[in-house]
C-alpha cells in the first residue's frame, strides 16, 4: 500500500509537471500564432507595395522614351530662351546707344541754350506791395507780362508799360520744385549720356536762387537722386558709373573750395583744362565720391556753412558769391566698351542787383563790382557764342573760365531767371528779364527760332 501510494504521488507530480509543460507550450503556440498573423499581414502589405512598384517601373520603363524626348525638347527650348534673352540684352544695349544719339539730337533741336523764368511767391504781407505780373498763356506757360514802373511823358501824362517776355518756360509762384525739376531732368540725362551741362540760377538777391538750387528739395538733391536711380537701371544695359562731386565758389574773382573749411588752411585752387577730353579739373580742390544719396546732403550742408555770406543793405542774408556744384559722371559699358564722361554744373549766381540799389560801400562795393563784372562776362561769353565768334572771352572772369567746356560747343546750358514778385524789386526784375531775353535770343548749335520782345503801353490808371 505504501509502495502504491508512493507511485501514485510520483505519477501525480509527473502529471503536474506535464500539465505545466503543456500550459507553457500552449502559451508559446498562442504567441507564435499571433506573430504569424502579424507577419502575414505585413507580407500582404509588402506584396501590395511590391506590386505597385512593379507597376510604376513598368509605367516608367514604357514611358522613358517619351520622357527623354520631352527632356530634349525642354533643353532645346531652354537654349532658345537663353539665346533670345541674350539677343534682347544686346538689342537693349544697342537701343541705349541709339537712344543717346536721338536724345541728343532732340535736345539740340530744343536749343543748346535754354532760358526759364521762375517767379517766387510773396512770403509774407510785410514784404511790401506786389508787382503786377501776369501769365497770359496758361497752355504753354512760356509768357510773362510785367507792368513796369510809372513813367511820365513830356506832356506830363503818367503811364505804365506792360512789358511782355517770352522764354522756353515760365513758372508762376504756385509751381513747386518738383515741376521745375521735371523740366530740367532731360539735361541731367544729357550729363549722364556724356555731355557737359550747365544750369544757372540768375536773379537779384532774395529772388529764390538758393531755394531753387540747393534747398532740401531743390535741383541739386533732385538731380543726384535721379542720377542714382538711372545709374541703377542702366546696370542691366551693362553700364557702370562713378559719380564725384565738388563744390566751389567764386568770390571777388577768387576760387574757394566750399568743402574744405577755412580753418584747415586752404590751398590756392587752380583751373586746368584738358582740351582733348573737354574736361576741367580744379587743382587742390576736394572731390567727394558720391556713392550714396545722403552724402549729397552732408556735402550741401558743409558747403552752406563755408559759403561767404556778407551783409548788404539790400538783403541781410545776401550771398555775395557764385557757387558752383560740379558733378562728374563717368560711365563705362562692359559689353560695348563705350565710355562717356559728362559734367553737370549747377550754378547759384550771386545777387544781380545793381551797385546803386544795393547801397554797398568799401568791401561790399568791391564784392558788387566783381559780381557785376563776372555776370557781364557771362553775358559776353553767351553773346560771343551766339555770334559764332572765333574768340570767346572765357578768360575774362573766373566763372566763365571755370565753365569753359560747359558753355558752348556741344554742351547744354540752361539759365533760370529768378524773379521777385515785389513792386519794390520791379526795376531789378525788368533788368534781369531783359538780360535773360538776350540770352534767350542767342542761339548756339542747331536752329532755334528767336523771339523778339515787344513792349506795350497802358495808362497808369
Ligand atoms: N518758390 C518759392 N517758394 C517758397 N519760398 C521761396 C521760393 N523761392 C524763394 N523762397 C524763399 O524766399 C527767400 C529768398 O530766397 P533765396 O534765399 O533762395 O533767394 P536768393 O535769390 O538765393 O538770394 P541770395 O542772392 O541772397 O542768395 C527764402 O526764404 C526762400 O525760402
Residue 307 has pLDDT above 70, yes or no: no
Looking at mean pLDDT, say which of 55-64, 197-206, 444-453 comes out highest: 197-206
Measured between alpha carbons, how far is 281 from 343 in angstroms, rounded to an integer?
A: 11
* DSSP state at residue 217: T
| Digit-coded pLDDT (tens) for 377-387 | 988 998 888 88
Q: Which residues contact 142 (CB under 8 A, 6 or more apart)?
A: 166, 167, 168, 169, 170
Ligand 1: residue of 208, 250, 368 to mutate (most ligand atoms within 8 A of CB) is 208
Spacing, Cα 175 to ligand 1 middle (Å):
14
Residue 117 has pLDDT above 80, yes or no: yes
Q: What is the pLDDT of residue 111?
A: 67
The pLDDT-based confidence of 356 (bands split at 50, 70, 90) is low
Q: Which residues contact 315 (CB under 8 A, 6 or more apart)?
A: 205, 206, 351
210 is in an annotated binding site: yes
CA-nearest of 385, 392, 429 to 207 is 429
Instruction: Give the predicted TM-score (pTM) of the model.
Output: 0.74
Measured between alpha carbons, how far is 443 from 112 in angstroms, rounded to an integer?
A: 7
0.85 surpassed by complex ipTM = yes
Q: What is the largest CA-CA distance in the chain?
A: 181
Of 314 and 169, the structure prediction assigns the larger pLDDT to 169
Looking at mean pLDDT, say which of 62-71, 191-200, 354-363, 435-444 comes out highest: 191-200
Residue 9 has pLDDT above 90, yes or no: yes
Residue 93 has pLDDT above 50, yes or no: yes
Measured between alpha carbons, how far is 245 from 327 in angstroms, rounded to an integer?
A: 5
Strand-pair category, 254-257 with 279-283: unpaired
Spacing, Cα 134 to ligand 1 middle (Å):
20
Q: What is the pLDDT of residue 265?
A: 63
Provide the percentage of residues in the chain whose pLDDT is more than 70: 88
Measured between alpha carbons, how far is 344 from 322 in angstroms, rounded to an integer?
A: 16
Q: What is the pLDDT of residue 133?
A: 94
Ligand 1: residue of 118, 119, 120, 368 to mutate (most ligand atoms within 8 A of CB) is 120
Residue 110 has pLDDT above 80, yes or no: no
Of 93 and 118, the structure prediction assigns the larger pLDDT to 118
Looking at mean pLDDT, say which of 25-39, 102-116, 286-300, 306-320 comes out highest: 25-39
Spacing, Cα 223 to ligand 1 middle (Å):
19
Residue 310 has pLDDT above 50, yes or no: no
Ligand 1 atom at minimum distance from 201 CA: 21
204 is in an annotated binding site: yes
400 is in an annotated binding site: no
Q: What is the pLDDT of residue 154?
A: 83
Spacing, Cα 61 to ligand 1 middle (Å):
82
Set of cell numbers at residue 163 = 512789358
Count CA atoms within 13 Å of residue 81 on its CB side. 6
Ligand 1 atom at minimum distance from 118 CA: 1
Q: What is the pLDDT of residue 362?
A: 67
The pLDDT-based confidence of 312 (bands split at 50, 70, 90) is very low
Question: Residue 366: left (phi > 0), alpha (psi -120 to 50), or beta?
Answer: alpha
Residue 212 has pLDDT above 60, yes or no: yes
Set of cell numbers at residue 4 = 502504491
9 is in an annotated binding site: no
Measured between alpha carbons, how far is 198 from 139 in angstroms, rounded to an integer?
A: 27
Spacing, Cα 385 to ligand 1 middle (Å):
31
Residues with CB under 6 Å of ligand 1 are: 120-121, 123, 203, 205-211, 315, 317-319, 351, 418
Using DSSP, state whether 124 is helix, strand or coil: coil
Q: Which residue's CA lies nearest to atom 12 of ligand 1?
A: 208
Q: Where are the domains of the chain?
A: 19-110, 113-459
Classify domain 113-459 at the CATH topology level: Kinesin (3.40.850)
φ, ψ of residue 114 in degrees (nearest 5): -125, 150
Q: Which residue's CA lies nearest to atom 31 of ligand 1?
A: 211
207 is in an annotated binding site: yes
334 is in an annotated binding site: no
Q: What is the pLDDT of residue 264?
A: 59
- What value does the mean pLDDT take over residues 253-278? 81
Q: What is the pLDDT of residue 3?
A: 93
What is the rounded average pLDDT for all residues in the chain? 84
Amino acid at each position: 500500500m505504501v509502495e502504491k501510494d508512493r507511485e501514485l504521488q510520483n505519477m501525480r507530480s509527473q502529471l503536474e509537471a506535464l500539465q505545466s509543460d503543456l500550459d507553457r507550450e500552449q502559451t508559446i503556440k498562442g504567441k507564435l500564432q499571433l506573430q504569424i498573423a502579424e507577419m502575414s499581414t505585413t507580407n500582404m502589405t509588402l506584396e501590395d507595395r511590391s506590386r505597385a512598384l512593379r507597376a510604376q517601373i513598368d509605367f516608367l520603363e514604357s514611358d522613358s522614351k517619351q520622357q527623354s524626348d520631352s527632356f530634349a525638347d525642354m533643353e532645346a527650348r531652354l537654349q532658345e530662351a537663353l539665346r533670345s534673352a541674350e539677343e534682347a540684352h544686346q538689342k537693349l544695349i544697342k537701343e541705349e546707344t541709339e537712344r543717346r544719339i536721338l536724345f541728343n539730337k532732340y535736345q539740340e533741336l530744343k536749343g543748346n541754350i535754354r532760358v526759364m523764368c521762375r517767379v517766387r511767391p510773396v512770403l509774407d504781407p510785410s514784404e511790401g506791395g506786389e508787382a503786377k505780373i501776369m501769365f497770359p498763356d496758361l497752355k504753354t506757360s512760356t509768357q510773362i507780362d510785367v507792368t513796369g514802373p510809372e513813367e511820365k511823358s513830356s506832356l506830363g501824362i503818367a503811364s505804365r508799360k506792360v512789358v511782355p517776355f517770352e522764354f522756353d518756360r515760365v513758372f508762376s509762384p504756385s509751381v513747386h520744385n518738383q515741376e521745375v525739376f521735371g523740366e530740367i531732368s532731360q539735361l541731367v540725362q544729357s550729363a549722364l549720356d556724356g555731355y557737359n551741362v550747365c544750369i544757372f540760377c540768375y536773379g537779384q538777391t532774395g529772388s529764390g536762387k538758393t531755394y531753387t538750387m540747393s534747398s532740401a528739395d531743390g535741383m541739386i538733391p533732385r538731380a543726384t537722386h535721379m542720377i542714382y536711380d538711372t545709374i541703377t537701371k542702366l546696370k542691366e544695359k551693362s553700364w557702370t558709373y562713378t559719380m564725384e562731386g565738388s563744390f566751389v565758389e567764386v568770390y571777388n574773382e577768387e576760387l574757394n573750395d566750399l568743402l574744405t573749411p577755412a580753418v584747415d588752411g586752404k590751398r590756392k585752387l587752380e583751373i586746368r583744362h584738358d582740351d582733348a577730353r573737354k574736361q576741367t579739373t580744379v587743382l587742390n580742390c576736394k572731390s567727394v565720391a558720391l556713392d550714396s544719396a545722403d552724402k549729397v546732403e552732408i556735402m550741401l550742408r558743409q558747403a552752406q556753412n563755408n559759403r561767404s555770406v556778407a551783409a548788404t543793405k539790400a538783403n541781410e542774408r545776401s550771398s555775395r558769391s557764385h557757387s558752383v556744384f560740379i558733378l562728374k559722371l563717368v560711365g563705362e559699358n562692359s559689353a560695348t566698351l563705350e565710355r562717356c564722361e559728362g559734367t553737370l554744373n549747377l550754378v547759384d549766381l550771386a545777387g544781380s542787383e545793381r551797385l546803386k540799389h544795393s547801397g554797398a560801400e568799401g568791401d561790399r562795393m568791391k564784392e558788387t563790382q566783381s559780381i557785376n563784372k563776372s555776370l557781364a562776362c557771362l553775358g559776353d561769353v553767351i553773346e560771343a557764342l551766339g555770334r559764332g565768334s572765333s574768340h570767346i572771352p572765357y578768360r575774362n572772369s573766373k566763372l566763365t573760365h571755370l565753365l569753359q567746356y560747359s558753355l558752348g560747343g556741344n554742351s547744354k546750358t540752361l539759365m533760370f531767371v529768378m524773379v521777385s514778385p515785389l513792386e519794390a524789386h520791379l526795376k531789378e526784375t525788368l533788368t534781369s528779364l531783359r538780360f535773360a531775353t538776350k540770352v534767350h535770343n542767342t542761339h548756339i548749335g542747331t536752329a532755334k527760332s528767336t523771339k523778339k520782345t515787344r513792349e506795350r503801353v497802358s495808362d497808369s490808371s
